Amino acid sequence: MTLIQRIARVIGMPLRRRQEPSILMSGNPAYENYEVGRWTYGRPKVMVWNPENNLKIGNFCSIAADVCILLGGEHRTDFISTYPFGEFLRQDLGSRHEWSRGDINIGNDVWIGRGATICSGVTISDGAVIGAHALVTRDVGPYVVAAGNPAKEIRRRFDDETITKLLAIKWWDWSDDHIRAEADTLMSNDQKQFLDRNMGTWE
| b/e per residue 152-176 (b: at least 16 CB within 10 A) | eeeebeeeeebbebbbebebbebee
Output the CA–CA distances (angstroms, integers) from residue 146 to 31, 125, 139, in the order listed.
25, 11, 10
Three-state secondary structure string covering 86-138: HHHCCHHHCCCCCECCCCEEECCCCEECCCCEECCCCEECCCCEECCCCEECC
Distance from C-alpha of 10 to C-alpha of 165, rounded to nearest angstrom: 60
Q: Which of 75, 97, 133, 178 is catalytic?
A: 75
**DSSP conformational letter for 52:** T
Give catalytic status of residue 97 as yes or no.
no
Distance from C-alpha of 67 to C-alpha of 17, rounded to nearest angstrom: 26
* Omega before 150 within 30 of 0, i.e. cis: yes
**Phi, psi at 126, each rounded to 5°:** -50, 140
One-letter amino acid at 85 equals F
Residues annotated catalytic, as ranges:
75
